Amino acid sequence: MRLTLHVWRQPNADTDGRFVTYIADDVSPDMSFLEMLDVVNDKLATSGDDPIAFDSDCREGICGTCGFVINGIAHGPEPATTVCQLHMRHFKDGDELTLEPWRAKAFTPLKDLVVDRQAFDQIIQRGGFISASTGSVPEANSILVSKDIADDAMDSAACIGCGACVAACPNASAMLFMAAKVSHLAVLPQGQPERYERVSSMVAAHDSMGFGNCTNLGECSAVCPKEIGLDTITRLNADLLATPRKKRKGHITSAP
């Protein structure tokens, strides 16, 4: 396969970027998208040019670091697929592909296709902790959790924090990411003591870092590689609306 790549090149956050065109020759359909970029980078390095910077770690679709936009779609055209798991067989010989980083105020561009997603870490930090007794391992059946609730929690916990939801949202909202992180604890007994304090703190962090508001367009869920559903956002909003009432009744205790 022979492909034409229009790649966003930006040396750093303080320098304007631009698209640069490259030709990718002899691309095997069995390559992953990142393997194809590795081949392009080998040729750039051999010729003395600066290789294209992109994030990469597990290459198994579980770490969330590999995301960027391919032809206007976060992670590319295949649903429920990260860039590292996207194979070149999904493209045709002669295709032109435009590669660009996530675009969001809260995601500072670092270089080329790499952005700083530490804002996600700050939201998680504001989520705080859960109350749990220390000491010996408790009996597995001491807290009964039904299969439906366990499955619901695991579905939300599948979020890998890649940022595709933010990149796809016209408002650059991180509500789907935040809702997934809230929901996987909100449905479990262990997450109840801090449930409403958690959602209030995380939403405050989300808004303070420049993420936009959710307007229920659904683009976030459509590009999520783990297919996190919009029902998680419904649960987050319900908990957020309930927070003042729960505080008045003394059901939660503010962190010191």
Q: What is the pLDDT along the chain (256 residues), one digit of tens a residue?
A: 999 999 999 999 999 999 999 999 999 999 999 999 999 999 999 999 999 999 999 999 999 999 999 999 999 999 999 999 999 999 999 999 999 999 999 999 999 999 999 999 999 999 888 876 767 777 777 788 899 999 999 999 999 999 999 999 999 999 999 999 999 999 999 899 999 999 999 999 999 999 999 999 999 999 999 999 999 999 999 999 998 766 544 444 333 2
User: Domain residues of the chain, as ranges?
Assistant: 3-110, 117-248
SS3 250: coil
- From the number of C-beta atoms within 10 Å of its C-beta (0-12, 13-18, 19+), residue 242 rates as middle
pLDDT, residue 144, reads: 86
Which class does domain 3-110 fall in? alpha beta
Question: Among residues 144, 162, 139, 14, which one has the least CA distance to residue 81?
Answer: 162
Per-residue burial over 3-34, b = 16 or more CB atoms within 10 Å of its CB, e = otherwise:
bebebbbbeeeeeebeeeebebeebeeebbbb
pLDDT, residue 6, reads: 98
Q: What CATH number is given for 117-248 in this structure? A: 1.10.1060.10
pLDDT, residue 247, reads: 58
Beta bridge partners of 21: 6
| Rama region for 61: left / alpha / beta (φ>0; ψ in -120 to 50; rest) | left
How far is 44 from 37, CA to CA, in rounded Å? 10
Pairing of strands 3-9, 96-100: parallel
246's tokens:
């729960």
How far is 136 from 122, CA to CA, in rounded Å? 31
